[in-house]
Amino acid sequence: MALAHLTLHDALSAQARLAEAGECLSEAFRQMTADGTGRASAPAWRELAERMAEAGDATSALAAYGFALDAASIRDRSAHRRSAAAVLRSTPLVAVQKNR
């Protein structure tokens, strides 16, 4: 059903009916979120993300790209490095120098 909403979005966008087209993207996102993510859903999530990005909805597009990566079992392997870097950024330089 979500793919039908993506197709309808394309048709409405071609007719410059952008408000209705946006509603189709929102409905596709809602349905796909309710359906969950499986490997087979990765291309659909990517399609949705592309359309959301083109529509200027960066926040939803980023979420959809994340779902696409999760569905394709592409995991974030650098989260621990980013977390450690965040801790270091929040530590005052004086405290770091004293611990040397």
pLDDT at site 42: 93
Instruction: Look at 96 and 56; give whichever has higher pLDDT.
Output: 56
Q: In this predicted structure, what is the pLDDT of residue 96? A: 52
* pLDDT tens-digit map of 11-48: 999 999 999 999 999 999 999 999 877 888 999 999 99
Long-range contacts of residues 64-67, Cβ cutoff 8 Å, at least 24 apart: 64/29, 67/32, 67/33, 67/37, 67/41
**Which domain range does residue 27 map to?**
2-98
